[in-house]
Amino acid sequence: MPGESLLTIEDYGRLCRQTLPRPLFDVIFGTEDAAEFETLRNNLEGFKKLVLRPRVLTGSARPALAVSVLEEQVALPVLIAPSGSNQRFDPEGERAVARAAGQMGTIMTVSTASNYSLEEIAAAATGPVWFQLYFFKDRELNSILIHRAETAGYKAIVVTVDVVTGSSKERHGRHDLTFAGIHYQRYNVDPSRIMRNFVDLQRPGVPTLETFQSCLESVLGWSDIDWLRRTTSLPLIVKGIQTAEDAALCVEHGADAVIVSNHGGHALNGARASIEALPEVVDAVGDKIEVYVDGGFRKGTDVLKALALGARAVLVGRPVLWGLTLGGQNGVQAVLELLRNELLVAGGQSGVMDVRTVDRNLLATAGHFAFAQAHAPEPLLA
């Protein structure tokens, strides 16, 4: 990795775009100026609507960054979001990501659509791992995957609920999903590793690359969350919540945590930024369950803003894959180190002693001049 030119997460994105075949990069990660990636753009721009109100003379230079997530201690409040087919970016794929997560003292979320089996990844991991489940029509298949995750030592089940009808046709329509004769999911992937979690299952109708989408339950409802709650004794995390109403229902239906997420802009185009959806979700659940958030986190200040709004931790997707492409396990670690160092600086310069204690007094809405109030102008993000 050409170290000195990789000073920001955006630098990783730019170099990754030059490294991967362009059609592959554009369909997987999107470009900020593309019409079909309006939600991605919203995610990135959402952070600019909030500005920091730093305190000084607090005696803090290096804030404590450790937090607990579902009673697991992590060294920094930045976790790894699930992403499919990681061998596209490095031969070691998800195993490299799992090792990097362990090295950095954080948690990796393993996708249903991984190129290494969930057991292989758990065996490579040196820290806690969560299993992300796409919910299949075939309930027995869901049970099998959950049982395998439990047996392999996963610490939580993350069910993704925001892509039930598939992703935008516009996105796929605009991009040629094959380039140089290769499907974008097959690029650099050992053929035996495509949909690796399913290849050894002796079961009719198990998902393949071609049938994956049609195997997913397209009419997910709260009774499915109830079913999951009954089916696993592991903590249950619902990924893809964007409103107070749904967050409150997650509490009612027994979820242990939610991830505020719009799938990194890969699901509904025209959705608001995750960071803008976060406060109402936090307010809706109070201290009943934990709230995490993903979508567009590229800087230490982005992370600090989410924590100040009430998220316990954030997850990162694209930055991890850019690091993986450019440097394998070391690249992923470098990306996480960069975010950690930026968070240390941002917290230190804001007078934060411990990230667990930040609150909304650290924030103001950009463009809002408050003369009368001594504290943060209210309401935030109205």
Ligand X SMILES: Cc1cc2nc3c(=O)[nH]c(=O)nc-3n(C[C@H](O)[C@H](O)[C@H](O)COP(=O)(O)O)c2cc1C
From 183, 253, 263, 266, active-site residue: 263
CB 285 → ligand X: shortest distance, Å?
Answer: 19
Is 128 a binding residue for ligand X by CB under 6 A? The answer is: no
316's enclosing H/E stretch is strand 313-316
DSSP string, 221-265: -HHHHHHHHHH-SS-EEEEEE-SHHHHHHHHHTT-SEEEE--GGG
Query: According to CB under 6 A, which one of 54, 84, 105, 377 is a site residue for ligand X?
Result: 84
Residue number with CB closer to ligand X (306 or 364): 306
How many residues of this chain interact with ligand X, rule: CB under 6 A?
A: 24
Query: According to CB under 6 A, which one of 295, 300, 331, 347 is a site residue for ligand X?
Result: 295
- Whole-number Å distance between alpha carbons of 152 and 156: 11
CB 86 → ligand X: shortest distance, Å?
Answer: 9
Residue 352 vs residues 60, 309, 336, 345: alpha-carbon distances, Å: 6, 14, 20, 10
Query: According to CB under 6 A, which one of 106, 111, 269, 301 is a site residue for ligand X?
Result: 111
Residue 298 one-letter amino acid: R
Is 207 a binding residue for ligand X by CB under 6 A? The answer is: no
69 near 75, Cβ under 8 Å? no
- How many CA atoms are closer than 13 Å to the CA of 91, on its beta-carbon side? 0
Residue number with CB closer to ligand X (241 or 321): 321
Judged by phi (left if over 0) then psi (alpha if -120 to 50, else beta), residue 365 lies in beta
- Whole-number Å distance between alpha carbons of 321 and 335: 9
CA geometry: angle 174, 180, 183, nearest 5 deg: 65
Residue 111 vs residues 14, 195, 311: alpha-carbon distances, Å: 25, 10, 22
284 near 247, Cβ under 8 Å? yes
CB 264 → ligand X: shortest distance, Å?
Answer: 3
* Torsion, Cα of 272, 278, 284, 285 (10° steps): 140
CB 376 → ligand X: shortest distance, Å?
Answer: 26
Is 235 a binding residue for ligand X by CB under 6 A? The answer is: no
Is 95 a binding residue for ligand X by CB under 6 A? The answer is: no
Query: Segment near ligand X (CB under 6 A), from 142-150, 192-200, 210-218, 293-301?
Result: 293-301
Query: According to CB under 6 A, which one of 305, 318, 340, 360 is a site residue for ligand X?
Result: 318
Query: Segment near ligand X (CB under 6 A), from 66-74, 310-318, 325-333, 354-362?
Result: 310-318
Is 196 a binding residue for ligand X by CB under 6 A? The answer is: no
Is 261 a binding residue for ligand X by CB under 6 A? The answer is: yes
Closest CB to ligand X: residue number? 317
Query: Segment near ligand X (CB under 6 A), from 142-150, 305-313, 315-323, 365-373?
Result: 315-323
103 near 126, Cβ under 8 Å? yes
Q: Give the footprint of ligand X on residues 29-68 (CB under 6 A).
A: 29, 43
Query: According to CB under 6 A, which one of 13, 127, 296, 300 is a site residue for ligand X?
Result: 296
Catalytic residue status for 183:
no
Collapsing DSSP to helix, strand or coil, 365 comes out as strand
The catalytic residues are 263
- Interacting residues toward ligand X by CB under 6 A: 28-29, 43, 81-84, 111, 113, 132, 160, 239, 261, 263-264, 266, 294-297, 316-318, 321
